[in-house]
Structure formats: structure tokens, C-alpha cells
Amino acid sequence: MALLNISQINSLADDQFVSIFGNVIELCPDAAVQVKKKGPFRTVSELCEAFHKYLDDLTEEGKLSILKLHPDLAGNLTRLSELTRESAGEQRSAGLTELSDWHVNVIQSSNQRYKTKFGFPFIICARENKFQSIIEGLQHRYDNTREQEIATGINEVKKICKLRILDIAQLD
């Protein structure tokens, strides 16, 4: 699919916009519904900022809901090939679909420890990381407070969101 320019994005009907941008924040088409109302956008960067503002404006409960929508890295959904198309590509790019059973066990046990402490999955922009940095992130971030991890997780969601938008839209 050819990348859309900002004029094409602005001319999308509401349902088309949601269909195209409905998963730039994992499994959260409401973000696209709300962002579409903020248009028209002058630039793709402004579109990205609108999605980021959507995240920033959420209550803590809303942010937790967003974080909980994300799959575990190298988790059961990965092994069962039940990730969204976007998540599958991101985990593949980080090498998480090619791990040995030992590596899968390491990451899954680390994920479970993290999830037990914080109440949501560990989120990191997989396209900007590989297995080793993900494991290091899991270990390092485990010492954070819940509030720090909510903020860090949302910042990682913003990175993921921007990269997903750039898979759809050409920069101005």
C-alpha cells in the first residue's frame, strides 16, 4: 500500500480513518475516533502529536487500560500467531519470533514477574530493541515504582504509535 499524504489522510471519511489508524495504539480504535475529530491536520507530525495528546489526556485508569491491551513480548499470542498484524511485525523485527525455548522461557518468566508487580504487561518499542535490550529493560525497569512504569509504558506506546503511523503516512 502506498503511503498516504496528509491531504489524503484529511480527506478520509471517519470510518476509513478508523479502519486505517484504528490500531496505531494497540487494539484502541477509540483513539482514532477521537483523533479524527481534531483534524484537519497540517502535517503528519501534527497527526502523531494528536495521538500522543490522546494518550497524555487519559486518566490513570485509561492509561492502564491502554497498557493492558498490549500483548506480552514473546508470549502465548506470539507462539499461537494470534497477534495483531502490527504487533507480529514488531516482535519479528526484534527477533522475538526466532527465540530458542530457553530464551522464550527467560522472557516469559521475566514478563510474568513484571506483570505480577505492576498489573500490566511490560511494554517496550520492539522495533527499537532486540532480545538482549528487552531483557535488560525488564530487569532494570522492575525496580521502578508503578507510577514510573505507567509513564514509561505510555512513552513506549507513543514510540510504537509514531512508527505505526509512519508505516501508513508519508512524512511531510
Q: What's the pLDDT tens digit per position in 87-139?
A: 999 999 999 988 999 999 999 999 999 999 999 999 999 999 998 999 999 99
- C-alpha distance from residue 153 to each of 43, 48, 64, 134 (Å): 26, 17, 9, 13
- Give domain status of residue 24, yes or no: no
Band of the pLDDT at 77, cuts 50, 70, 90? confident
127-171 confidence digits (pLDDT tens)? 999 989 999 999 999 999 999 999 999 999 999 999 999 999 998
Q: How many domains does the chain have?
A: 1
- Give domain status of residue 162, yes or no: no
CATH number of the domain within which 83 lies: 1.10.3330.10
- Give domain status of residue 149, yes or no: yes
State phi, psi for 142 to the nearest 5 degrees. Answer: -60, -25
Q: Which of 52, 70, 103, 140 is catalytic?
A: 70
39-60 confidence digits (pLDDT tens)? 999 999 999 999 999 999 999 9
- Give domain status of residue 161, yes or no: no
* 103 belongs to the catalytic site: no
- Give domain status of residue 72, yes or no: yes
